[in-house]
Amino acid sequence: MKITPVDIKNQKFGKSFRGYDPSEVDAFLEMVSSTLQDQVKENSQLKEKLSSVESTLIGYKDLEGNLKQALVTAQKSAEEIRQNAEKEAQLLMRETKIKAERKLEESYSVLSGLKSQIVDLNNLKKEYVVRLRSMLETHLKVLESMEKEDQSYKEELQLAGSRSQSKSSSDKEMKI
């Protein structure tokens, strides 16, 4: 059975001849009633505060659960992002390697073409050198032939000149 401050205040005792002093009992009961009333108020306030704290605690527990869930989700997302980044990096590496191999093949093709052109140009150069040499040799032979002809003409002229001098000398001798 619960006793309230009002119960204490309203409590009446029977009177007896040698009993307690009624004014002291009433004063004591008033004091006990007042103290109990203060205790009941404080208890009620503490219950309200406890209820508020429990509500806050439930809110915090919910928040903690949400935070844990968010953390797990964030970790999963981070792991997915990391995996996607790795896959993307591998794909990019493969694409880059393929492009590099294509460029290398193109470079080898260009190099092969250039080597072929160099060989062709060297062959063309040799052909021109042979033609030029042949032409020069032909011109040299023509020049030598012309020099021989000139030499022959000179010799003939000298012979003709010496004959004419000898003829003139013989004509002079003959005149004398």
DSSP class of residue 17 equals T
Q: State the pLDDT at residue 112.
A: 95
Residue numbers of the domain that contains 26: 5-11+19-163
Q: Are 33 and 9 in contact (CB under 8 A)?
A: yes
Confirm whether 171 is domain-assigned.
no
Positive/negative CA dihedral, 134, 135, 139, 142 = positive
Confirm whether 39 is domain-assigned.
yes
Confirm whether 172 is domain-assigned.
no
Confirm whether 174 is domain-assigned.
no
Please count the structural domains in the chain.
1
Confirm whether 47 is domain-assigned.
yes
Confirm whether 55 is domain-assigned.
yes
CA-based angle 63:64:66, to the nearest 5? 60
Please enumerate in sequence order all residues whose Cβ is within 8 A of that of 37, keeping only pairs 6 or more positions apart, or say none. Answer: 5
The 10 Å Cβ neighbour count of residue 119 is 10
Q: How far apart are CA 7 and CA 32, in angstroms?
A: 11
Tens digits of pLDDT across the chain (176 residues): 577 778 777 777 777 777 777 788 888 888 888 888 899 899 999 999 999 999 999 999 999 999 999 999 999 999 999 999 999 999 999 999 999 999 999 999 999 999 999 999 999 999 999 999 999 999 999 999 988 888 888 888 787 777 766 666 666 666 65
Confirm whether 145 is domain-assigned.
yes
φ, ψ dihedrals at 15, nearest 5° = -95, 140
Confirm whether 176 is domain-assigned.
no
